[in-house]
């Protein structure tokens, strides 16, 4: 994507916002540059001047929204978090266009959707690394997989928003939904779910015997027990 001159920044931002709204409503393939230009009040030629192509415009939209999202997720000081929460609760509908964009573009099955997902995972992994470094987050045995799971967890309400709205009885972007989801989500991330490590310890013990780890699994049953695990011991050969 070509760089945007300073004097054209306002027009470029208008084009980007118009594209986010159109892509979110109609999807990438069904949206034309001419429609975006009309929504932004500019000519199609100016869209091409700023972004080079429709795919370049999509990349610019991805970058802007991911940057905004990760900036909010990276906040760790209480006043900043409280201010963000108040913005969501006071005017949740202002974020509806962005949620439509993520939901539509990630579900379109295109390479662009894959790139957007990969970008979210990379940014989440970087955020987790920073959290571990500054002591605000616990380290993981598999940081990449942790980043993937957190990304999936964050995207699930967007991709399943109709189902979530049916269960809650209110739209996802309503103040009631945001208010109800906030504390349980933060409780889960802050305090976890289990009160002790028994399930985690059991999983670790089971994974130690995973065939892919080439770790031997010993049987603790006697030679006469038919329910051997994993294989019954071979009978001793009689000596000649």
Note whether 110 and 167 are within 8 A (CB). Answer: no
All structural domains of the chain with their residue ranges: 6-197
Q: What pTM did the predictor assign?
A: 0.72
Question: pLDDT at position 193, please?
Answer: 92
Question: pLDDT at position 91, please?
Answer: 67
Name the residue with tokens 């500019």: 42
pLDDT in tens, the chain (240 residues): 344 443 445 899 999 999 999 999 999 999 999 999 999 999 999 999 999 999 999 999 999 988 887 766 555 555 555 666 666 666 666 778 888 999 999 998 889 999 999 999 998 999 899 999 999 899 999 999 999 999 999 899 888 989 999 999 998 888 888 888 888 988 999 999 999 999 999 999 999 876 554 444 444 555 555 454 555 444 454 444
| CATH class of the region 6-197 | mainly alpha
Question: pLDDT at position 78, please?
Answer: 56
């Amino acid at each position: 994507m070509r760089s945007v001159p300073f004097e054209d920044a306002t027009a470029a931002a208008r084009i980007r916002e118009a594209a986010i709204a159109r892509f979110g409503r109609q999807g990438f393939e069904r949206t034309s540059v001419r429609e975006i230009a009309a929504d932004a009040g500019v000519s199609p030629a100016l869209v091409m001047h700023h972004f080079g192509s429709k795919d370049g415009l999509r990349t610019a939209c991805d970058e802007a929204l991911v940057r905004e999202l990760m900036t909010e997720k990276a906040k760790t000081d209480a006043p900043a978090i409280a201010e963000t929460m108040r913005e969501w609760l006071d005017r949740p509908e202002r974020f509806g266009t962005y949620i439509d964009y993520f939901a539509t573009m990630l579900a379109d099955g295109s390479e662009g959707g894959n790139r957007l997902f990969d970008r979210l995972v990379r940014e989440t992994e970087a955020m987790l690394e920073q959290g571990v470094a500054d002591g605000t987050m616990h380290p993981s045995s598999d940081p990449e997989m942790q980043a993937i799971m957190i990304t999936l967890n964050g995207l699930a309400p967007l991709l399943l928003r109709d189902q979530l709205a049916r269960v809650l009885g209110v739209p996802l972007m309503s103040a009631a939904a945001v208010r109800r989801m906030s504390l349980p989500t933060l409780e889960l991330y802050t305090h976890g779910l289990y009160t002790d490590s028994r399930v985690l310890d059991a999983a670790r013990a089971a994974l130690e015997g995973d065939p892919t780890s080439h770790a031997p699994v010993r049987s603790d049953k006697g030679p006469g027990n038919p329910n051997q695990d994993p294989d019954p011991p071979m009978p001793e050969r009689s000596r000649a």
